[in-house]
Amino acid sequence: MARVIVIGAGLAGLATAVRLAKLGHQVTVCEKDDRLGGALGRVEADGFSWDAGAASTTLPAALRDLFRKSGRPIESLAQLEPITEPRRHLFGDGSILDLPVGDRALQSDAWAHLADDKTAKQWTDLVDKYGETWQILRKSSLEPPLMDKLPLAAIRSLKPWQSLERTAQRSLDDERARAVLRYYAIQHGSDPKLTPGYVGVWSYLERTFGRWTIDGGFGVLADALAQRASERKIDIHANTEVVGVDTDHGQVTGVRLADGKTLPAEVVVSDIDPRDLYGQLVDDPQAKKVRRKVLSTHQAQAAYVVHLGLKDPVPSLPFETVLHGKPTVVVRTGGQAPAGHQAWSVLVHGYPTDDVLDLLVARGLHIRDKVVSRQTSPSWWAGVAWEGYKTARRRAANASPIKGLYCVGAGAHPGVGVPATTLGAAIVADAVGKA
């Protein structure tokens, strides 16, 4: 049995903690804030409740596997529900696309109705090709740790040097279809011109596995993980900041806290910005090379999020609506509201120069006089921005050159988002192994 300390109680940190505790390790979680869950939190005010960060996911099997491998199934604590409404796309020319998730034929029909059969075929063919991309990524970097060197055939298939923007230009003639493909980079704070084309694989994952939310919001997932941590006898220290990771001859020995205490450990798992980990917390010669790589990355631009409590009647929108343009604006309608009201979350991707309400009105959503509550989400660590395909090698690996030190979360492999961070936790748990 190893003594394990997890730095940070975001989704990835908690997921790793409960997996390792189930494997028989003694686990302690240190979280500098007073609440658990990171971006899975809630914003509550005036009788409304909104998801602070994540509100939906694809690859529901990743969450199901997390709870099954740490105890009882997820259904014992939270209910995953499929999002049956299409994602709505509003374009600058006024046209509207309601694009279903989880259904190949319905997607094709939606594109044919908006544009023509040619556009429908181009979109369907491109998403079909991403099926092969998914199999390569799954076998090479999601189920096992990231390979040091991919097979040549896999590299040729992935074409990492080809950007998502280039893929859109080559594969899609309709500018609206290109905009939908670009969204898979924009939603995570990256430039499509600097994002590898294979990131468009998320279009295949949504079409194949659908998109899912949690009854009551994703804050329920944070509660469920906290409950699972309690069941697994994990020692959780809130309001506890780690200021250093102690090592001896390339081996983790523990962590130092802001209050001067030291906690011994054989394994340390970091769920914080890897630039902070390697740049401030770790001072070991073994980390010199990885420090240089990690510090060369830059943070992705987090969305600016405003939560609105609205009185009825308001425009009827599906769970998610993407308002294409500069900046790209996303409206989510899945919040909790009192009777006769609606709870919207508005995410602005880019640098807003106008007020959120002005942006909505300019895109045709006239709800200014309906606002009865307005709140802003706290900013969160948004992961690493794509700056060309070599970014994948500069992102922190799950395993460190320092024995016993691991990284999970948005800044580590395999990247940002609920499925990716959950899969990263599984990789680390498998690497540490049973007690």
Residue 144: pLDDT band with limits 50, 70, 90 = low
Strand partners, 61: none
CB 356 within 8 A of CB 348: yes
Residue 382 has pLDDT above 90, yes or no: no
**Average pLDDT over every residue of 176-202:** 96
- CATH architecture for residues 98-210: Orthogonal Bundle (1.10)
pLDDT in the model for residue 377: 86
Judged by DSSP in three states, 128 sits in: helix
| Amino acid letter, residue 431 | A
Residue 260 has pLDDT above 80, yes or no: yes
Task: Identify whether 313 is preceded by a cis peptide bond (ω within 30 of 0).
Answer: yes
CB 365 within 8 A of CB 321: no
In whole angstroms, give the CA distance from residue 83 to residue 81: 7
Strand partners, 394: none
Enumerate residues 6+ apart whose C-beta is below 8 A from 320.
56, 83, 87, 88, 330, 331, 332, 333
**Average pLDDT over every residue of 124-152:** 82
Hey, how many other C-beta atoms are within 10 angstroms of the C-beta on 80?
15
Enumerate residues 6+ apart whose C-beta is below 8 A from 216.
78, 336
Residue 139 has pLDDT above 90, yes or no: no
Residue 39: pLDDT band with limits 50, 70, 90 = confident
pLDDT in the model for residue 145: 57
Q: Would the pTM count as exceeding 0.85?
A: yes
Domain 304-376 has CATH 3.30.70: yes
Residue 146: pLDDT band with limits 50, 70, 90 = low
Interstrand relation of 267-270 and 3-7 (parallel, antiparallel or unpaired): parallel
Residue 393: pLDDT band with limits 50, 70, 90 = confident
Percent of the chain having pLDDT more than 90? 87
Residue 1: pLDDT band with limits 50, 70, 90 = confident
Residue 17 has pLDDT above 70, yes or no: yes
pLDDT in the model for residue 149: 64
Q: Say which residue, 191 or 40, is predicted with more confidence.
A: 191
Query: What residues does each domain of the chain span?
Result: 3-40+59-80+217-299+382-432, 98-210, 304-376
Exposed, middle or buried by CB within 10 Å (0-12, 13-18, 19+), for 156? exposed
Q: Domain 3-40+59-80+217-299+382-432: which CATH class?
A: alpha beta
Please name which of 47, 63, 397 lies closest in space to residue 225, comparing C-alpha atoms. 63
How far apart, in Å, are the Cα atoms of 390 and each of 275, 326, 376, 395? 17, 27, 34, 9
CB 359 within 8 A of CB 352: yes
In eight-state DSSP terms, residue 69 is: T
Hey, how many other C-beta atoms are within 10 angstroms of the C-beta on 32?
17
**pLDDT tens string 194-222:** 999 999 999 999 999 999 999 999 999 99
**Average pLDDT over every residue of 169-183:** 98
Hey, how many other C-beta atoms are within 10 angstroms of the C-beta on 2?
16
Residue 31 has pLDDT above 70, yes or no: yes
Please provide the average confidence, as pLDDT, over all residues in the chain: 94
